[in-house]
Structure 1
Amino acid sequence: VQDIVFDFGVKPRLSNDRGNAILVASSIYEACKYFELFQKTVFKGKCAVVTSYNPLARDVTLEETGANTETDKQFIYNTYTELLKEIDANPGMTKTETYEERAKTLFTKEPANMKLLVVVDKLLTGFDAPPCTYLYIDKSMQDHGLFQAICRTNRLDGDDKEFGYIVDYKNLFDQVKGAIAVYTSELDHSAGGADPEILLQDRLTKGRERLENALEAIVLLCEPVEPPKGELEHIHYFCGNTEISQDLKEHETQRVALYKAAATLVRAYANIADELDRAGYSEADIARIKRDLNRCLDLREIIRKASGETIDLKAYEADMRHLIDSYIEADEPRKISPFDGMTLLELIVKSGIADAVSNLPGGIKNNKGAIAETIANNVRSKIIKDHLNDPAFYDKMSALLDEIIADLRAKRIDYEEYLKRIAELAKNVQAGQAGDMPPELNTPGRRALYNNLNQDLGSNQSAAAAEGPEPYGVIPDSTLDLAMKIDDAVKRTRPDGWRGVHTREQVIKAALYEILKDVSEVERIFLIIKQQREY
């Protein structure tokens, strides 16, 4: 039981709720005993026992026990009675059959809600469950039955499942080979084509092959990087040219390939990390592999920072806390930095450009060019991500970013001036606003309406056009009034849950048309309104 609980805390697929497992017990009594023990762990409510047993009163009528004891039959009967007491039988089915159908449905379709099935003989043949990744065997089995059982894990359901795992508590390895031999001897070899032999592969040999392939994939992926293949050259290859606004987005495929290749390498290494010598590696080879792995992880971190694609760990906080509480013993935590979990732009806003730069990885912060590229890419990433919220504002910010980068490249400004200007721009982009705004514009939605209506009015007023565009932040009062009218109309007329429901969206568009009197303008402003959480 502790083995399985531990595996679900650390093993791929089991730990991220993408996969689940089957435990084969040697008897119905042991299956029930397993089930009882699992109810005292994190599996409570996410584990089921499926056997051929159906509780009947006559099973225990003649059983005799002493004080505070129960026989095996009574234990089985009481276990089933307890787990079935909340079950309402489906038409034409018993409570036991209904319980088993629900368990199988959850197991195959919702692995996060049915992590483990404890079985004896049932479900070991003909049960197709692609999420099933691990099979724990605590029962003596042989020949066809054993082969059918181990095949429960061979259905693939995603890139993260290359094969299933068999955990053997009964030393059945020789029987596994025998079962495969029996099955293979019955295959038809006369049809031509591929040989239908069943192959039993050595885990360490296969693990070494996966590790070598993963290392080679990283090398091939980085081969096009320009010499001398330093941090800056890698940033250019995976993030593009900061002077071209779309380059960061267009190089996304290279970055995704790097992240996937790094994850594959980490998994391949972890599978045989404690057995590298047994897999045939020398001490020098092991040292080389560890260096290559660390270099790959450092590169991944540099590219993530440079592209502004760092992972938000808040979604994994509960899982990490569970692992820490379950398996790690340590003194009370002591906070040594106030910057945990912050993005680079958040660091710039909170602590200034100097502290933000000092928190970058060593490979970046020691290179002025890499620092400039990293900050620019983070600002660009934020602009691309939030552009739909306020197109006019973020278009202006994008133009300012292009101007700052061009000035640095043309050496019209020095590195210190670049940092000063990019820090100010980063603060504006992070805040979603720039300059002095009228006090009425105290929400992101109002500011977005104000900015985009101003852009529209500015282009339609010929007198203003003749005199040249007004500076940012200097906007006619009519635009402010119009923005406030639209804000009030949307908040007054919006139906509950209007997003994605055509008839409800039409209610808001009708209110916009009463103010704007232009169908195309209504559609343009509606898309901006749809992005604002406050509406």
Structure 2
Amino acid sequence: PCVFQMIPPFFSRMLFLEKKGGIIWNTQGSGKSLIMVWLTKWIIENVSDSRVVIITDRDELDDQIESLFIDVNEKVRRAKSCKDLRDILDKSEDPIVCSLIHKYGHNAGKQADIDQYRKELLKDLPKDFKAKGNIVAFIDECHRTNSGKLHEAVKTLMPDAVLIGFTGTPLLKKDKKTSLEIFGPYIHTYKFDEGVTDGVVLDLRYEARDIDQDLSSQDKVDLWFEQKTKGLTERAKLQLKQSWTSINKLYSSKQRLEKIASDIVFDMSLKPRLKEDRGTAMLVANSIYEACKYWEIFMSMGFTKCAVVTSYEPTTQSVRTATSDLSQESEEEYKKSIYERMLGGKKLSEFEKDAKKQFKENPAQMKLLIVVDKLLTGFDAPSATYLYIDKSMRDHDLFQAICRVNRPDGEDKDYGYIVDYMDLFRNLQLAVSDYTTEAFDGFDKEDVEGLIKNRYDEAKSEMEGTLASLEALFENVPAPKADIDFIEYFCGDDSDGDEKTARRDTLYTLTAALSRSFANCCDKLVSEYGYSENDVNHLREEISGYNKIKEMIKLASCDYIDLKPYEADMRYILDTYIRAEDSRVISELGNMSIVELLLKGKTTTPVDLVKDLPGTDEAKAEMIDNNLQHEIVKKMSSNSVYYGKLSEMLKKIILQRKTEAMSYEEYLRQVVELAEAILHPETTSNYPDGVKDSATRRALYDYFENNVELTIDVDSAIRTSIQPGWKRNFQKQQRIRLAIYKKLLLHMYTEDRATEEANNVFDIVQRQEEYDA
């Protein structure tokens, strides 16, 4: 929104007066493609004879931009080649043009791609060529060192164009001055910490994990080396030793990869979003070979919901043209065989498209994507929650990679998590929480401020802040702060009122945040933050107490029916970290309501039945009362006569309990009977045969004051007259009313009374599921 607000004044001056461009730096995930669309719309509408040319090097972004333009009813012309782009610009027909920097050659790099694009762009360019219209060109990824060469080529093709560079990452210090000179000043900046504050992107949490890779037998390696280098000169031996050192650093042992894979599979069963199949993860491997190794290891572990997505293409030619070194040839053959197994006969493009779609839309079926370079830029998947890095990265590549997990995705995704196996942020070892050195030392410090934080520091801070908030919330609970006082404060007589609902929402949110933050830092509280073991145990008990109150309030208010998004996560965290006594309540209830639980009282002692509900006997009774009343209200519309009587019965039972006119045991016996009447009215003695097994006939029987013949006649008339779709069709509804009216006349109703009663009965009919058609 802030970008959109700055468009008119800035662009009016820039386009109409100064004819100058600039740079828009909006952090990863903040909607760069949307900004391109908004700006294009504004330019086309406000600049006469205007045209916008968008140059990008990512297929996903090219597709996304076209899709967004279609959504706003704008047609985009996609240039198929550089020659096609020149032909389009030589005419005045297409106001919006997209040009993709194609991938030239097998696994060509970014520099080679842009160099080739530049050559083709200017190849055989006529001297008198002139691009038509007032052109504004958008150049994506303008932060790159080679963007100057692309800028020069575009200016040669379109000398009068205003060029605007887009970037999602800061400019490198060494390139900043040059980039600003080439494109012009910043038009707008929207940094990472601003995006987090606005809720556009999520904050990131960082964790370093160390997997040692030591030689198991240095002596055997030395012996092997001596045997293999016999007859070589000292210089040759030295070169071989240097190569060995490089290879040893570059390639991970199978055991190390297996440890990391085991680590990830363990997280899949432990971390809430991953465990609950709402979240996904990406693993950045050091090479395509290691990506294939990882895939094979995961398969052997039985973890099959993963795929490799890289730039590799499994062709016979790649194996045949590989280096003559046997180990290298073997590596190519290995990659090809793994890909063939993984593809299972599918085309590579089809397989990758399906894998990415499942990863985004069906996380339960595609939990992990193993990548090397591909998908680390421009791939937006809100489900992505964890990024595991096993590759040396820095600056732009690292910045873009870690932002794969910063997209919001519902209330249960609180952060994006970075797990670093390569010690990319070495300053953590010095307990320095400033992530602008080492891996990000190529950026100016202010440009990456607040990008990534120590997850333990943040979790501890969140835990302490949440504890303080809970204490403040509970200060308002009246003394002596017994269970019944908490129920009264959070539920009371007006349980569904806005004030009580807001109090409970605050309680649920704070207890969930407290348990989650404690789980994220509990193993460091003693070693890193000066807590004693007693302090940590006291915290566990305190958090367990808060969660016990939360569960009690949930049950008393019937909020367990409308489970909050984080509850599935919290159940697991509580079981794992907190030793929560109240977890038995969840397992005891399962998917049952308290009213359903009471039905077991017919086959067991009611006191034993409710012993696992949290709170005192008085608190348990309040829970039961609230739940019974809630169930009655829910069913009241289907049969107001029957459930109205049950509501009066419940009021009498509650009054007798509160005035101590009945024992707790007698109270439980009566509410068990009442629960049976609420959930299974057909088992009561109220209804005769021919009526009791149909909820609709029971409602009509109660309305017609126990007239069996009239009940069955009216029900039969209704069923005969009902037509499909009657609830949305007035004429079909009138047909039902007429059938009821005629049947009432046959039972000696006057015309006026039959008309009135037909309308009343029709109201009952509308609330009966049996009549749905």
TM over 0.5: yes
- Which residue matches 2:65? none
Query: 1: distance between equivalents of 2:383 and 2:289?
Result: 27
User: Are the counterparts in 1 of residues 307 and 342 from structure 2 also a CA contact under 8 Å?
Assistant: no
Match of 1:151 in 2: 403
Q: Do structure 1's residue 400 and structure 2's residue 649 form an aligned pair?
A: yes
1:357 to 600, 607, 620: 607
Compute the displacement of 1:64 (Å): 11
Secondary structure, counterpart of 1:117 in structure 2: strand
- 2:263 maps to which residue? 3
TM-score by length of 2: 0.54
Q: For 1:267 and 1:297, how far apart are their aligned partners in 2?
A: 12
Contact 1:184 1:197 in 2 (8 A): no
Aligned positions of 1:10-21 closer than 5 A:
10-21=270-281
- 1:381 alignment partner, one of 605, 630, 637: 630
User: Which residue of structure 2 aligns with residue 36 of structure 1?
Assistant: 296
The structure 2 residue matched to 1:479, chosen from 693, 699, 710, is 710
- What is the Cα deviation at residue 301 of structure 1? 2.7
Question: How far apart in 2 are the matches of 1:73 and 1:364?
Answer: 62
Distance 1:408 1:31 in 2: 68
Q: 1:534 to 1:361 in 2, by over 3 A?
A: farther
CA, structure 1 residues 58+417, in 2 after alignment: closer, same or farther (shift >3 Å)?
Answer: closer
Counterparts of 1:312 and 1:154 in 2: how far apart (Å)?
Answer: 28
Q: For 2:557 and 2:520, how far apart are their aligned partners in 1?
A: 30
2:313 to 51, 54, 60: 54
| Cα shift at 1:522 | 6.5
Residues 378-407 of structure 1: CA deviation (Å, up to 9, x unaligned)? 211222343444444323322322233234
In terms of mean alpha carbon deviation, does 99-108 or 115-124 score higher? 99-108
2:537 and 2:445 map into 1 onto residues whose CA distance is: 44
Assess if the C-alpha contact under 8 Å between 1:353 and 1:419 holds in 2.
no
The answer as to 2:487 corresponding to 1:256 is no
Would you say 1:273 and 2:522 are equivalent positions?
yes
Per-residue CA distance 1:86-139 (angstroms, 9 max, x = gap):
43xxxxxxx333332332233233322321111011111222222211111111
Contact 1:238–1:303 (Cα < 8 Å) also in 2: yes
1:248-289 CA-partner distances (Å, limit 9, x unpaired):
566444333323322221111111122221233234432331
Match of 2:186 in 1: none
Structure 1 residues 223 and 152: CA distance shift in structure 2, 3 A = same
| Correspondence for 2:440 | 180
Contact persistence 1:347–1:356 (CA under 8 A): no
Q: After TM superposition, give the deviation of residue 309 of structure 1 in Å.
A: 4.7
Q: Which residue of 1 aligns with 2:109?
A: none
After superposition, residues 418-429 of structure 1 pair within 5 angstroms as 418-429=667-678
Gaps of 5+ in 1: 88-94, 188-195, 328-337, 459-474
2:740 is aligned with 1:515:
yes
3-state SS of 2:453 partner: coil
* 1:78 and 2:330 aligned: no
Q: CA deviation at 1:28?
A: 1.1
Superposed CA offset, 1:352-372 (max 9, x none) = 4983333435785643x3243
Going from structure 1 to structure 2, the CA distance change for 1:118 and 1:205 (only over 3 Å counts) comes to same
Give 1:50 shift.
0.8
Q: Is 1:213 matched with 2:465?
A: yes
Contact 2:310 2:372 in 1 (8 A): yes
Please say if residues 307 and 369 of structure 2, whose CA atoms lie closer than 8 Å, have aligned partners that are also in contact: yes
**For residues 593 and 740 of structure 2, what CA distance do their matches in structure 1 show?**
40
- Name 1:285's counterpart in structure 2: 535
% identical equivalent positions? 37
Is residue 2:764 matched to residue 1:525? yes
Answer yes or no: is the 8 Å Cα contact 2:389–2:418 preserved in 1.
Answer: yes
Provide the C-alpha distance between the structure 1 equivalents of 2:341 and 2:490, rounded to a whole number of angstroms.
58
Task: Assess, with a 3 A threshold, how the Cα gap between structure 1 residues 281 and 118 changes in structure 2: closer, same or farther.
Answer: same
Helix, strand or coil at the partner of 2:308: strand
1:370 counterpart SS class: helix
For the residues of structure 2 that align with 1:303 and 1:486, how far apart are their CA atoms? 47
Question: Using a 3 Å threshold, how does the CA distance of structure 1 residues 360 and 42 change in structure 2: closer, same or farther?
Answer: farther
Show the counterpart of 1:163.
415
Note if contact 2:642-2:702 (Cα within 8 Å) is conserved in structure 1.
no
Higher mean C-alpha deviation, range 56-65 or range 399-408: 56-65
Which among 480, 493, 496 is matched to residue 228 of structure 1? Answer: 480
Counterpart Cα distance in 2 of 1:199 and 1:266 = 25
Distance 1:179 1:533 in 2: 67
Alignment partners' CA distance in 1, 2:546 and 2:485: 15
CA distance in 2, matches of 1:198, 1:309: 37
Kept after mapping to 2: 8 A contact 1:513/1:522: no
**2 CA distance for matches of 1:281 and 1:61?**
62
SS at match of 1:183: coil
Please list the CA deviations of residues 473-523 of structure 1 after superposition, one character each: whole Å capped at 9, or x if unmatched: xx0123332354157538xx665xx69x846x9768745642346674475
Residues 64/128 of structure 1: CA separation in 2 closer, same or farther (3 Å cut): closer
Cα pair distance change 1:357/1:143, threshold 3 Å: same
Larger radius of gyration: 2
Compared with structure 1, are the counterparts of its residues 339 and 144 closer, same or farther at alpha carbon in structure 2 (3 Å cutoff)? Answer: closer
Give the direction of change, closer, same or farther, for the CA distance of 1:361–1:156 in structure 2 (3 Å limit): farther
> Within the alignment, does 1:297 sit opposite 2:574 as a pair?
no
Distance 2:398 2:348 in 1: 26
Query: Given the superposition, is the C-alpha separation of residues 78 and 483 from structure 1 closer, same or farther in structure 2, using an over 3 Å criterion?
Result: farther
Aligned to 2:720: 489
Match in the other structure for 2:355: 103
Secondary structure of the residue aligned to 2:336 is helix
The answer to whether structure 1 residue 447 and structure 2 residue 695 are counterparts is yes
- Native 8 Å contact 1:307 1:378 kept in 2: yes
Distance in 2, matches of 1:63 and 1:143, equals 32
Q: Which sections of structure 2, spanning at least 5 residues, go unmatched? A: 1-260, 428-434, 577-586, 743-754
One-letter identity of the residue aligned with 2:712: D
Q: 2:619 aligns with which of 359, 367, 370?
A: 370
* Cα distance between partner residues in 1 of 2:310 and 2:740: 68
- Residue 252 of structure 2: aligned partner: none
The 1:43–1:111 alpha-carbon spacing in structure 2 relative to 1, beyond 3 Å, is: same
What's the TM-score, normalizing by structure 1? Answer: 0.75
Q: Could you say what the CA RMSD is over the residues aligned between the two structures, in angstroms?
A: 3.8
Rate the CA distance shift 1:385–1:76 in 2: closer, same or farther, 3 A: farther
Q: Which segment drifts farther, 143-152 or 128-137?
A: 143-152
Aligned to 2:489: 237
Q: CA offset at residue 39 of structure 1?
A: 3.2
